[in-house]
């Protein structure tokens, strides 16, 4: 250590973590400099206070919030109800730039858009917009990297850099909503209707910021973006205490549980956090969530050839899920660098589906949007090159 080393080093690409050892879990990383505070981090009362503390008029907070969430205006020049001389200063207080787009890739004839974002400290994350006939879904990141170390997931292999702030999470959705509103996505102008916390990171390991984001996304304009909680999905590896906390919040978001195996022996290796909370405990927490919110839980299951796709595992899963408020989402494994695993054979996938249906369990096979731009499930690595 050199004596001249600054106390708070300037962080940039140096913040990349060491790749985790197999099975190693990372729940937190050393605290770093915080992202700038943004109106999306704050309740409407806090936004007002942020302005009045600095001698500005409190009602400006609602005006600016309406521009941000309602008109999706990112240029203060468009805030015509705010005196021109004050716009830049107020923007500096309430809407500092949190995300810088450094690369955009499209697939599926322009209806899938993956964006690589640089955060204020040089950390990078990705988000994916997916436009369908009847809805447009934003898949957002909640952490730069991930500490859950699932061996088949590119994000997990890179390790955890840091938690994202509420503002950084919300900004990904607002950016997508803006691109849709401006007709920049193939298919003409439209809106973002759905949000899935299925990008980089384990949302329930960054609980506070994620709940803040859910609140901001669902509160009506000008407090938030005004999306329906029912159109938001929070996906988790199965952090039981956090699922219980979420149950108590009483927000009717859809809970998705990344199960991937019905038996502890296999799940211990595919989802290392299973060594802490077993299949039965995770599912119990999921059923309590379903009972409280009346929301069907989505059970995520990546089909991996000859690893978890055997007919007996389908039966075992079917037996566990029959008569539960659950739906199985099968995901054909997407290829990731350095992984020896591949997607199941079509006939094994079909048999898996048939067995679950025989148990009366609703099941769908997820499409693989954005696979050719590494934008599909488990492929987000936010590599700059
Ligand atoms: N950490 C959360 C959020 C990530 S969601 C979670 O695990 O639920 C991404 C979903 O894609 C999860 O169900 C994850 O297990 C799954 N996934 C990861 N890698 C994948 C891959 N290579 N192919 C298919 N699905 C994958």
Cα–Cα distance list, 276 to 111, 242, 270, 341 (Å): 39, 13, 13, 25
Alpha-carbon gap, residue 227 to 216, rounded angstroms: 9
Q: Is the pLDDT of residue 3 over 70?
A: no
User: Distance from the CA of 364 to the center of ligand 1, in angstroms?
Assistant: 16
The CA distance from 207 to 122, in Å, is 23
pLDDT at 9 over 70: no
Local structure of 143: helix, strand or coil: strand
Query: In the prediction, which pLDDT does 382 show?
Result: 80
Q: Which residues pair with 115 in a beta bridge?
A: 104, 127
Q: What is the mean pLDDT of the chain?
A: 94
234 vs 252: CA distance, rounded Å: 11
Q: Pairing between strand 254-258 and 297-303?
A: parallel
Q: What token pair was written down for 70?
A: 């309602």
The burial of 5, by beta-carbon neighbours within 10 Å (0-12 exposed, 13-18 middle, 19 or more buried), is given as: exposed
- Return all residues near 285 (Cβ < 8 A) that are at least 6 apart: 238, 240, 243, 244, 247, 277
Using CA atoms, how far apart are residues 327 and 300, in angstroms rounded to an integer?
9
Mutate to test the pocket of ligand 1, among 257, 285, 300 (most ligand atoms within 8 A of CB): 300
Inform me whether the pLDDT recorded for 10 exceeds 50: no
Catalytic residue among 139, 168, 300, 377: 377
Nearest protein Cα to ligand 1, atom 18? 378
Looking at residue 14, its pLDDT comes to 55
Name which residue sits closest to atom 7 of ligand 1, judged by CA: 237
pLDDT of residue 364: 97
Q: Which of 148-157, 192-201, 317-326 has the weakest average pLDDT?
A: 148-157
Per annotation, catalytic residue among 126, 168, 171, 300: 126
For residue 7, pLDDT over 60 is answered with no
- Kindly state the tokens that stand for 355: 């067995």
Q: From the alpha carbon of 335, which atom of ligand 1 is closest? A: 22
Least confident of 12-26, 182-196, 270-284, 360-374: 12-26
What is the rounded CA–CA span in Å between residue 384 and residue 179?
22
Pair 109, 121: CB distance under 8 Å: no
Residue nearest to atom 4 of ligand 1 (CA): 198
- Whether 377 sits among the annotated catalytic residues: the reply is yes
Lowest mean pLDDT among 22-26, 242-246, 295-299, 354-358: 22-26
pTM score = 0.94
Mean pLDDT of 1-28: 64
- Please tell me which residue, 379 or 347, carries the higher pLDDT value: 347
Return the structure tokens found at 255. 């809970």
Flag whether pLDDT at 1 surpasses 80.
no
> Residue of the nearest CA to atom 19 in ligand 1?
378
Please name the helix (run of DSSP H) or strand (run of DSSP E) that holds residue 346, with its range, or none.
helix 346-358
User: Can you tell me the distance from the alpha carbon of 106 to that of 123, in angstroms, rounded to the nearest whole number?
Assistant: 22
Select the more confidently predicted residue: 383 or 7. Answer: 383
Residue 164 Cα, ligand 1 centroid: separation in angstroms? 18
Q: What is the mean pLDDT of residues 5-28?
A: 68
Stronger pLDDT, 8 or 368, i.e. the higher one: 368
* Rg (the chain; Cα; Å): 21
Work out the pLDDT band at 339, boundaries 50, 70, 90.
Answer: confident
**Matching residue, tokens 């405990």:** 281
Average pLDDT of the segment spanning 25-43:
92
Residue 4 has pLDDT above 90, yes or no: no
Residues flagged as binding site for [4Fe-4S] cluster: 146, 150, 153
Which string of b and e fits 289-323 if b means at least 16 CB within 10 Å? bbeebebebbbbbbbbeebbbbeebbbbbbebbee
- pLDDT value of position 38: 98
∠ CA 186-190-191, rounded to 5°: 120
- Whether the per-residue pLDDT at 35 is higher than 80: the answer is yes
Q: Which two tokens stand for residue 285?
A: 């927490």
The band of 28, judged by pLDDT with boundaries at 50, 70 and 90, is confident
Query: From the CA of 258, how far away is ligand 1's center (Å)?
Result: 7
pLDDT per residue over 103-121, tens digit each? Answer: 999 999 999 999 999 999 9
Over residues 156-176, mean pLDDT: 96
> Which residue positions form the known binding site for S-adenosyl-L-methionine?
201-202, 235, 258-260, 334
Instruction: Kindly give, in sequence order, each residue whose CB lies less than 8 Å from that of residue 329, ignoring residues fewer than 6 positions away.
Output: 256, 298, 299, 300, 301, 363, 364, 365, 366
| pLDDT for residue 8 is more than 90 | no
Mean pLDDT of 300-307: 98
Confidence band of 346 (pLDDT split at 50, 70, 90): very high
Pocket of ligand 1 (CB under 6 A): 148, 150, 152-153, 198, 202, 235-237, 258, 300, 302, 331, 333-334, 336, 377-378
- Supply angle C-alpha 193, 198, 204, rounded to 5: 110
CA distance 233 to 151: 23
């Amino acid at each position: 250590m050199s004596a001249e080393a600054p106390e708070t080093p300037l962080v940039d690409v140096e913040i990349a973590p060491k790749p985790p050892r197999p099975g190693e879990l990372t729940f937190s990383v050393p605290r770093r400099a915080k992202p700038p505070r943004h109106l999306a981090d704050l309740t409407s009362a806090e936004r007002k206070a942020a302005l009045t503390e600095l001698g500005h008029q409190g009602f400006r907070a609602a005006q600016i919030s309406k521009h941000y969430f309602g008109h999706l205006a990112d240029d203060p020049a468009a805030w015509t109800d705010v005196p021109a001389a004050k716009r830049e200063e107020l923007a500096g207080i309430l809407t500092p730039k949190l995300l810088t787009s450094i690369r955009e890739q499209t697939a599926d004839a322009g209806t899938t858009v993956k964006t690589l974002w640089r955060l204020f400290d040089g950390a990078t994350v990705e988000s994916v917009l997916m436009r369908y006939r009847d809805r447009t879904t934003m898949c957002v990141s909640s952490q730069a990297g991930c500490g859950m170390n699932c061996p088949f997931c590119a994000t997990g292999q890179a390790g955890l850099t840091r938690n994202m702030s509420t503002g950084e999470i919300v900004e990904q959705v607002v950016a997508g909503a803006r691109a849709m509103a401006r007709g920049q996505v193939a298919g003409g102008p439209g809106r973002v209707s759905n949000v899935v916390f299925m990008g980089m990171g384990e949302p329930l390991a960054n609980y506070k910021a994620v709940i803040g984001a859910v609140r901001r996304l669902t509160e009506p304009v000008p407090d938030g973006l005004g999306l329906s909680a029912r159109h938001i999905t929070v996906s988790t590896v199965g952090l039981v205490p956090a699922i219980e906390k979420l149950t108590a919040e009483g927000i009717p978001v859809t809970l998705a549980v990344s199960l991937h195996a019905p038996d502890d022996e296999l799940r211990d290796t595919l989802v290392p956090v299973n060594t802490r909370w077993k299949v039965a405990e995770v599912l119990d927490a999921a059923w309590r969530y379903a009972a409280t919110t009346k929301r069907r839980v989505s059970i995520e299951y990546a089909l991996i050839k000859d690893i978890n796709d055997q007919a007996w595992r389908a039966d075992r899963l079917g037996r566990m899920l029959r008569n539960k408020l659950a739906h199985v989402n099968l995901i054909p494994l997407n290829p990731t660098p350095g992984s020896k695993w591949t997607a199941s054979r079509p006939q094994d996938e079909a048999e898996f589906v048939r067995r679950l249906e025989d148990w009366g369990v609703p099941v769908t096979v997820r499409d693989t949007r954005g696979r050719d731009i590494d934008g599909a499930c488990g492929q987000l690595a936010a590599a700059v090159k």
